[in-house]
Amino acid sequence: MFSRLSSAISAALVLALLAAVPASAAEAYRVDGLPRGETLSIRETPDAAAPALGQAPVGARLRGFGCTADTPSGLTWCRVKAGPILGWARRRYLSPE
């Protein structure tokens, strides 16, 4: 029982620390490197098979909130915000500003 309580407290602490990160910690990206006429899909989860929540054209500015390669494909995806849309985009198409 102590182990479960300790795990729950640890998880709550991690969530509280993540919530306390200032908005300025977000990274700024521009959509880049897509084939002509293509848009970048912002997906529900970091997986190309996940539903698309929206699209971002080449040159669009996105806010990034961290990247991970711990994905089904092993490719790197970043948590991004494009206007009101919060989802995941392939890191390959994001250039730091």
Nearest of 18, 35, 32 to residue 91 by alpha carbon: 32
pLDDT at residue 82, as a whole number: 95
pLDDT at residue 94, as a whole number: 98
Residue range 1-40, pLDDT digits in tens: 444 434 444 444 333 334 444 445 789 999 999 999 999 9
Judging by DSSP bridges, how do beta strands 52-57 and 77-82 pair with one another? unpaired
Residue range 44-66, pLDDT digits in tens: 999 999 999 999 999 999 999 99
pLDDT at residue 22, as a whole number: 46
Distances (CA, A) of 3 to 6, 7, 10: 5, 6, 10
pLDDT at residue 25, as a whole number: 75
Average pLDDT over residues 55-79: 96
